[in-house]
Structure 1
Amino acid sequence: MWFGACIGLALPDSWGHWPSMTMTFMAGKTQVILKGDQSLTKAECSLKTISKTWEREDWGLLLEVENVKIDEDNEEESEREEEGEKSNLPMIPNLLKRFRGLFEMPKELPPRRAVDNRILTVDEQKPINVRPYKYGYIQKEEIEKLVSEMLQAGIIRSSRSSYSSPVLLVKKRDGGWRFCVNYRKLNQVTISDKFPIPIIEELLDELHGAEVFSKLDLRLGYHQIRMKEDIEKTEFCTYEGH
């Protein structure tokens, strides 16, 4: 929420130097200096200007800051309140502990489930084969590292398939790299699965009143579903080969 004006600020035993936007006061035996950010300061305004602003139903805010002494009993009570807030859903910590493995990096292939991924192509006799991209030195090192990690985890394996798609790296928000495979050529000859798109209104009705939500993509979510025997179509290649 934005406020049109902020009027008044008082601290006990404080000294303010408003041109430099500094305020000094003592906290016990320690001197504390508050300094404002001048880049956030707007032009000064008179009381007349403020009155005109309020005529347009703007907001005004009066702030008062003072020292409050908290004794040990109050601190213990505050801690109990915080613990009470954390325990509103007592089943959550137990669930997280029970399924701790779901939040760790996968070290083996996921189990077979009711539905496995499959790829049906228009012409099964004509494999798709695209040469690898040209990578810089840093990307080569990262590709080698990620491929090695996935090999050790059992997510991928060496292959001699006739299919081949190139690899590319996408920058993550945290500065890391996301390992991606460009399957555009394969997608062009893939027979798409037909499935009705859910209606948003119906989904919202079903979620009404819910307190706990879950999703698939927890830890490398798309590595939690196995492939059928046409797994050879998912082969990718780097500058080092298949």
Structure 2
Amino acid sequence: MDIRDHLFLKELRKGKGVEALTPPVREGIEHEIQLHPGTQPISVKQWRQSPEQRKVIQDWTKEMVQAGIIRPSTSAFCAPTFCVKKPVGWRIVHDYRQLNSATILPAIPMPRKEDTFDAMGGS
């Protein structure tokens, strides 16, 4: 793992703003989620939130768009966004459970954590 990844995770755990967490731009990377045949677009209504939580989500969204991490979308798919209170403020969370249940899992075996740790032992 690259040392910058470690530093990024440390800053993330400190609850720093997006300017400290902005990952490098990775152009040309696309990701497609394979869904079970016949799956209709999944759109879950936004949950009710306090005015404080709505403001946190609005501010976070604006910050992420300005940083180029997310972009506006008109997709038929929609998952609720909400906040979880943490000691350093609010954490933004998205509920993708329904999308996950319609996703075809790749037939690629995940490496065993023990093997990964063994491989890192010589680093």
> Do the aligned residues in 2 keep the contact of 1:107 with 1:153 (CA within 8 Å)?
no
Looking at secondary structure, tell me which structure has more strand per residue. 1
**Gapped regions of structure 1 (runs ≥ 5):** 1-94, 97-101, 211-242
Indicate the percent of aligned positions where both proteins have the same amino acid. 31
Which of 179, 184, 190 aligns to 2:92? It is: 179
**In the TM superposition, what is the alpha-carbon distance from 1:124 to its structure 2 partner?**
5.5
SS of the aligned residue for 1:165 comes to coil
> Which residue identity does 1:111 align to in structure 2?
E
Gap change, CA 1:202 and 1:131, over 3 Å in 2: closer
Distance 1:107 1:199 in 2: 27
Which of 44, 51, 72 aligns to 1:130? It is: 44
CA offsets 1:72-112 (integer angstroms, 9 cap, x no match): xxxxxxxxxxxxxxxxxxxxxxx87xxxxx77332874333
> Do the aligned residues in 2 keep the contact of 1:166 with 1:181 (CA within 8 Å)?
yes
**In the TM superposition, what is the alpha-carbon distance from 1:122 to its structure 2 partner?**
1.2
Pairing 1:149–2:63 present: yes
TM-score by length of 1: 0.39
Which of 189, 193, 212 aligns to 2:102? It is: 189
Gap change, CA 1:205 and 1:159, over 3 Å in 2: closer
Which of 95, 116, 119 aligns to 1:203? It is: 116
Gap change, CA 1:200 and 1:134, over 3 Å in 2: closer
Q: Which runs of 4+ in 1 moved over 4 A?
A: none
Distance 1:151 1:184 in 2: 24
> Do the aligned residues in 2 keep the contact of 1:165 with 1:182 (CA within 8 Å)?
yes
SS of the aligned residue for 2:53 comes to helix
Q: CA RMSD in A?
A: 2.8
Which of 54, 58, 73 aligns to 1:159? It is: 73
**1:27-106 paired onto structure 2 within 5 Å:** 104-106=20-22
Pairing 1:168–2:82 present: yes
